[in-house]
Amino acid sequence: MAAPPPVSREPASNSSASDQPVVVLEQLSKKYGTFTALEDLSLKLYPGQILGLIGPNGAGKTTAIKILVGLIRPTSGTAQIAGADCVRDSHQIKRLVGYMPDRFGAYDNMRVREYLDFFGAAFGIRCKTRIARIAEVMEITGTEYMKDRFVESLSHGMQQRVGLARTLLHDPRVLILDEPVNGLDPQARIEMRDLLIRLAGLGKTLIVTSHILPELSRICDRVAILTHGRMRAFGTVEEIGRQVSQRRTMEAHLASSEQVAAAAQTIRRHLEADAEVTEVPLEATVRFRSARPEQELGEVLAQLVKANIRVTQFREVQTDLEEAFMTFTRPAEPTPAASSSPGGVTHV
Amino acid sequence: MFKALVLRELMTVLRQPRMLALQCGLVTLFTLLVAVRWPTDARVALSGVRSQEVFQLFALGLLAIVLLLLPVFPATNIVREKQQGTLALLLNTPLGPWRILFGKLLALSALAAIIFATSLPAASACYAMGGLSWSMLCSVYGLLVLAALEYLTLGLLISSHANSTDAAVRGTYGTMLGLSVLSLGPHYFFQGTKGALADGGEYLRSLSPFAAMMSLLSAGDMGGNGLISTTDVARRFMIGALVISTIAALWTVSRLNHTIFDQARAAGKISDDQSWQVQTARRLFFLVDPQRRSQGIGSFTNPVMVKEFRCRRFGRLHWLLRLVAVCAVLSLGLTYAATAGTLDWGVETIGSILVVMQVALVVLITPSLSSGLLSQEIESGGWQLLQMTPLSTWQIVWGKLLSVIVPLALILCATLPGYVVMVYIEPGMKLQVQRVVICLVATAVFAMLLSAAVGSLFSRTATATAAAYTVLLTICAVPLLIWLGRDAPFGHDVVETALQFNPIAAALSVIRLPGFRDYTLIPANWWFLGIVSVISLIVLLVRTRRVSRAR
């Protein structure tokens, strides 16, 4: 099968999307006896947005998802999808949400087309419409070539695609995908990533959980970090990165590794006393972290040039999602729970 | 390393709380079995007749328990390891296939030994009553050990060929029933005659541990009609069991290597893409070609029912149609043979064959179709997906029940032509046939709902299937065990009461089969089947509701 061309992602902003949020969670909590699985989770999502729900095992991601799809009842708080309450309007929720659990749910001796036909019929789609719809979702997910294969004999990557096709059958407004890229090879992962971006482009709102953070950072407009049932951060990857550290990480690439020591000395002279400066001679790079404002950092570059150090690149290194995740989930430094506003600004 | 394997195998089973419950249950059962028949009179006959009567019942009961409980352990053993990936790890160790097989066999034999150990106090009590020789006691336990060995090795063999645990359980219980019960059938009809058919029936009977045990205990043969057989069935059985065990063990060893994993993924071949000659040939052979591209599910059809038909290997339409065709031809053939005078069996005997054939099919097929209705979905992760559809719980359950009702209806209808011919030949049998049909329909409904209810209590399909088979076979077998002791130690009333719980006996008494015609079993049996069916339906609905509701 020829892989579809890679799709680039422009994060959907709240202003460009509809003003009405599709997913609204307010003070959502779930307790099992004395154990709190989820505590005061509040967030809003708009059409076309992709939310990455991340957290260590047992953080409450699956609990939040199951409440949204009506499989679990919250102890307190409310969850709404397109105005339908996840507890009271469970029948409506089934039509609004496409849920792909972390387990595929294969039936033995069933071909892919029969599998999709069954779920289409279960959603009450009339026979003629269903046949057309199956062809449509197969095209979207690139599963046409496997229509006569038995579902249990498909590879994991193929099953994930069929699972997504099944989720799309009834054309839901919100897609909730639990670990969609888990266990996929790099090629299949790229294809799945492109597919999710394309679906968001079609106006679907996606909630995706994953442990593969670089994947999420590439596709998500919003990221929510959960630990011990509480939301620690919510916002865009950049916003979360900025919250992680008040210091910025800068990098100076030099033309020659012989000048690394001299460059590091010059940088140290012009930074605060506790600034971290790291020499990487093998890469002809000096990396440093500083809380100094932009202007003063510009001065550092000027001093390097003045000292006859040939700088080929001088740039800020973005804090990645992995680093943010590790910071928020570090057990020794508990961070207060975050609350979010529709603008995606997180108050920590 | 070998010791570690045996210990792991044994501990995995013994650590389960249900094993402790099973052992306690067995001890209680054996104690009750002896205590109920323990002489209360101050005088005891010197010949020890009473003790022998009690021991006969005890030995047959123990054999039934061994056959009902033991096969599930070997049946799930290899296939589960294969699914969990531990078999690949095991084959990667220096333990060869021989040591792996014998390790497994040793651990499973230890389980059988535990069952035998729980029966020893009751056996000692029988021995203490007198009238039992030491050699008789040893012979009975020797036969039990051989029977256990035979079914353990067969279970492991089937497990090594199966692709799912429930298929392995189904296959093992089917084989066990075939070898121990159905093998008795031909002898019943050909006994007292001469020729190849009679000899064949005699040899086939020797494969049954029940026939061997009856012969060893010098009890009247099952359905013997007063005829005494001079064949040493017990010796033949023991030789047969050893031969079968050896072949099964060798065959299993040959499977314990790369071949067990070396399977290509199904390519998903479709008949529609092949030449018209191939398509026609397949249509003629299969009647309903399973490889044809299926049509979309009709807008007004219950999708769950269609799904069940499509995704089950056992009970797919093309197999059922063949089964029905065989039943129909057989029933008509038998009826014709009886009327043409080529067989001197009489209409009642022909009717009995039809009844036995249908009940055997119902009892064999129903648990495998209906026990996993809920557990299969839970195990595969499909239940969560079904819950996410707008289908109501009732629609799901009804669709699943329909997928069992249709094949059962086909099986029941298959022999109707035979009954119609019987009534045509002998109009006086109309009422009998009507009652038999009611009995068979009630048995099918009862077997379906009971299996579904018992299966719904478990989350694993293999356990659900094994439990459903055990419960259904217990209901069918225990009254028949009591019926075997119909002259002694049990009186007419006790046997009649016991048989009232047995759907097979009710149908056989209605058709007036010798041995059953003296008992009045309906309508009491219909009441029993009806009440249990209603309770089972309630249990099934409650369990379904429980697993469906948001927690």
CATH 3.30.70.100 in chain A, residue ranges: 247-317
Residue of higher predicted confidence among B226 and B475: B475
* Fold type of domain A23-242+326-347: Rossmann fold (3.40.50)
When pLDDT is cut at 50, 70 and 90, the band that residue B528 belongs to is very high
pLDDT at A117: 93
For residues A312 and B285, which has the higher predicted lDDT (pLDDT)?
A312
**What is the predicted pLDDT for the residue at A340?**
42
Give B122's pLDDT tier (boundaries 50, 70, 90): confident
Task: Give the integer Cα–Cα distance in Å for A249 and A314.
Answer: 11
pTM across the whole model: 0.73
Cα(B80)–Cα(B249) distance, rounded to whole angstroms?
Answer: 18
Instruction: Give the per-residue pLDDT at B74.
Output: 92
Dig out the tokens for B443 from the structure: 């048995």
pLDDT tens track for B263-319: 776 677 788 888 888 888 887 777 777 777 888 888 888 999 988 888 876 656 667
Q: Is B310 in contact with A99 (Cβ distance < 8 A)?
A: no
**Six-digit token pair at B139?**
């012979």
Instruction: Decide the pairing of beta strands A285-290 and A248-254.
Output: antiparallel
Interface test with B, best of A63, A117, A144, A159 (most B CBs within 10 A): A117
Angstrom distance (rounded) from CA B274 to CA B349: 48
> Across the interface, do A109 and B389 touch by the CB < 8 Å criterion?
no
Residues of chain A with CATH 3.40.50.300: 23-242+326-347
Burial class (CB within 10 angstroms; exposed 0-12, middle 13-18, buried 19+) of A282 = exposed
Distance from C-alpha of B3 to C-alpha of A342, rounded to nearest angstrom: 63
Q: What is the ipTM of this complex?
A: 0.72
Under 8 Å between Cβ of A160 and A190: no
Please indicate whether residue B48 or residue A223 has the higher confidence score (pLDDT): A223
Mean pLDDT, range A87-97, rounded to an integer: 88
Specify the long-range contacts of residues A278-283, CB closer than 8 Å, at least 24 apart.
Answer: A281/A257, A282/A257, A283/A253, A283/A257
- In this complex, the residue of A94, A106, A150 whose CB is nearest that of residue B390 is A94
Q: pLDDT-based confidence at A115, cuts 50/70/90?
A: very high
Neighbour tally for B144: CB within 10 Å = 22
Lowest-pLDDT range, A34-38, A116-120, A330-334, B4-8?
Answer: A330-334
Interface of A with B in 88-107 (CB under 8 A): 90-91, 94-95, 97, 99, 101, 103-107
State the residue for tokens 């499909």. Answer: B382
CA-based nearest residue in chain A for residue B395: A122
CA A32 and chain centroid, separation: 27
How do A76-81 and A23-32 pair as beta strands? antiparallel
Residues of A in contact with B386 (CB under 8 A): 122
Ramachandran angles phi, psi of B318, nearest 5°: -65, -30
Minimal Cα distance from A170: which residue of B? B389
Hey, is A117 helix, strand or coil?
A: helix
pLDDT tens track for A45-72 = 999 899 998 888 888 888 999 899 888 8
The answer to whether B183 touches B194, Cβ cutoff 8 Å, is no
Q: Which pLDDT score is estimated for A333?
A: 44
B422-431 long-range CB contacts below 8 Å, 24 or more apart?
B422/B335, B422/B347, B422/B350, B422/B351, B425/B335, B425/B338, B425/B339, B425/B347, B426/B347, B429/B347, B429/B351
Best mutation target, B385, B393, B547, B548, to test chain A (most A CBs within 10 A): B385
Selecting from A94, A99, A153 the residue whose C-beta is nearest the C-beta of B266 gives A153
CA distance A250 to A314: 7
Q: Distance between CA atoms of B416 and B433, rounded to whole angstroms?
A: 10
Average pLDDT, chain B: 83
The pLDDT value recorded for residue B338 is: 64
Q: For residue B476, give the nearest of B501, B493, B451, B494 by alpha carbon.
A: B501
A247-317: in CATH 3.40.605.10 = no
Q: Kindly indicate the confidence band of residue B324, based on its pLDDT and cuts at 50, 70 and 90.
A: confident
With b for 16 or more beta-carbon neighbours within 10 A and e for fewer, the B92-106 pattern comes to eeebebebbbbbbbe
Contact A120, A133 (CB under 8 A): yes
CA dihedral B446, B447, B450, B456 (to 10 degrees): -140
User: A105 vs B384: CB contact, 8 Å cut-off?
Assistant: yes
